[in-house]
Amino acid sequence: MKKFWKFVTLVILLTSLTDWGLGTLFDHWYPKIKTGQTGGKINYYLNKTLVPSLVIVGNSRALYQVIPDSLHAQSFNLSHAGMSQVFQTGLLSILKDAHKMPSVILLHLEPEEFTFDDNGNDIQNLKYYYGKNKLVTQYISEISIFESSKYVFHLYRYNGRVFTFLKNLVQSTYLFKEYNGYEVIPATIKDSINTIYSANNVGDIKNENLNERQISYLLEFIRLCSESKTKVICFTSPLYRQPKRINLITSKLNSILKSKGVHYIDFIQNPIEGLQRNPSLWKDAYHLNHNGARIESSILGLQIKELL
């Protein structure tokens, strides 16, 4: 048994030492990253001395389609591709903790996501803030009963992102300064073909019932905004081809938002003239290219102006 305890002690000691050593090094480097989707963009925003008046948050359909300069003089697009509402709520909580809440937040809602019965896995993209931010920690712990135990290892906060993190550290200059967080999808001659091709693969909505958990993330988002006296406006970007019954979901979302006194700009129910008839303004059936983004942003800008 002596050999057994010697083995166990040595393994624990070596693992803890590596975890502590590498963890400390990564913790030192992480705040220096100012670019990329794995935390750099958030760092860049948190380090801004002047907090923008208007911040856009959402997924790729906000990131590639909403040009901040078309909306307001001091605005910033803090959207992250592929991220659902749980991430946006966690992100807002981080901004609140850092006292970097803007006066207005423009939140992009992806209707279909509110019907998914997932376990809020997207919050894992904020795992660096586990133990640092209360709401992020809570959401991560809710993923599964074992999730918190993974954070016994300090290094787990960097799980799956070491190489991206190191790459962004080496080239840590903010790449999209010119556009204040907006990322450009340049228009190409292949766009029309890609859009028509991908539109054929757009499936119907399988379920239009809203998921309670997803809605709770949205309500928490609104609550955090109201606590900080930040005005929140929600919007949904247009689609080249709308799946059948998607309007049923946006109607339900609209009634929830109405009951909370939040204005909802719904380009699904009220499509932007001309966009859906012109595939050359799209990258695929879901994303506008830069030319299309300019149209959406200018119309969004006009509608927001009336609300501010």
Partner 1 sequence: MLFNSFQFLIFFPIVVLIYFLLPHKYRWFELLVASCLFYCAFIPGYLLILIVTIFIDYFAGILIEESTDKRRKLFLTVSIISNLLLLGFFKYYNFFIDNLNFISQSLFNHQLQHLNIILPIGLSFHTFQAMSYVIEVYRGKQKAERNFGIYSLYILFFPQLVAGPIERPQNMLHQFYEKKSFDTHRLITGLQQIGWGLFKKVVVADQLNIYINSIYDRWEVNSGVTLIFATYCFAFQIYCDFSGYSDIAQGSAHILGFKLMDNFHLPYFSKSITEFWRRWHISLSTWLKDYLYISLGGNRSGKWNTYRNLLITMLLGGLWHGASWNFVIWGLLNGIYLSIEKMTGIKNHSQRYGKLLNVFFTFNLISLTWIFFRASSFHQAWGILKNILDVNDFWVLRIQDTGIFAGMIFGLVVLLLVEYLLLRKEGAQQYFSERPILQSCFWIAGLITLIVLFGVSEGDQFIYFQF
Binding residues for partner 1, rule: CB under 8 A, are 1, 3-4, 6-7, 10-11, 14-15, 18-19, 22, 38, 121, 124, 144, 146, 149-150, 153, 155-156, 158-165, 167
SS3 call for 56 = strand
Neighbours of 279 (CB within 10 A): 22
The nearest distance, CB 177 to partner 1, in angstroms, is 21
CB-based contact 81:59 (threshold 8 Å)? yes
Indicate the residue among 116 and 153 with the shorter CB distance to partner 1: 153
Give me Rg for the CA atoms of the chain. Answer: 21
The nearest distance, CB 32 to partner 1, in angstroms, is 18
Return d(Cα 237, Cα 255) in angstroms, integer. Answer: 18
How do strand 263-266 and strand 231-236 relate by DSSP bridges? Answer: parallel
The nearest distance, CB 22 to partner 1, in angstroms, is 7
The nearest distance, CB 259 to partner 1, in angstroms, is 35
Indicate the residue among 7 and 209 with the shorter CB distance to partner 1: 7
Indicate the residue among 171 and 207 with the shorter CB distance to partner 1: 171
Indicate the residue among 38 and 115 with the shorter CB distance to partner 1: 38
Task: Tell me the CA distances in angstroms from 159 to 125, 155, 168, 288, one per residue in order.
Answer: 10, 7, 15, 32
The nearest distance, CB 7 to partner 1, in angstroms, is 6
Q: Give the contacts of 263 (CB within 8 A, at least 6 positions apart).
A: 233, 234, 257, 307
Indicate the residue among 7 and 258 with the shorter CB distance to partner 1: 7
Indicate the residue among 167 and 231 with the shorter CB distance to partner 1: 167
Q: Give the contacts of 243 (CB within 8 A, at least 6 positions apart).
A: 112, 202, 203, 204, 205
The nearest distance, CB 35 to partner 1, in angstroms, is 13
The nearest distance, CB 263 to partner 1, in angstroms, is 36
The nearest distance, CB 145 to partner 1, in angstroms, is 8
* CA 300 to chain CA centroid, nearest Å: 19
Indicate the residue among 198 and 297 with the shorter CB distance to partner 1: 198
Structure token pair of residue 305: 């102006």
CB-based contact 300:71 (threshold 8 Å)? yes
- List the Cα angle 207/199/286 in 5-degree steps: 75
Indicate the residue among 2 and 99 with the shorter CB distance to partner 1: 2
Which ranges of the chain does DSSP label H, i.e. alpha helix? 2-29, 40-46, 60-63, 85-97, 134-143, 162-170, 191-199, 212-227, 246-259, 290-307
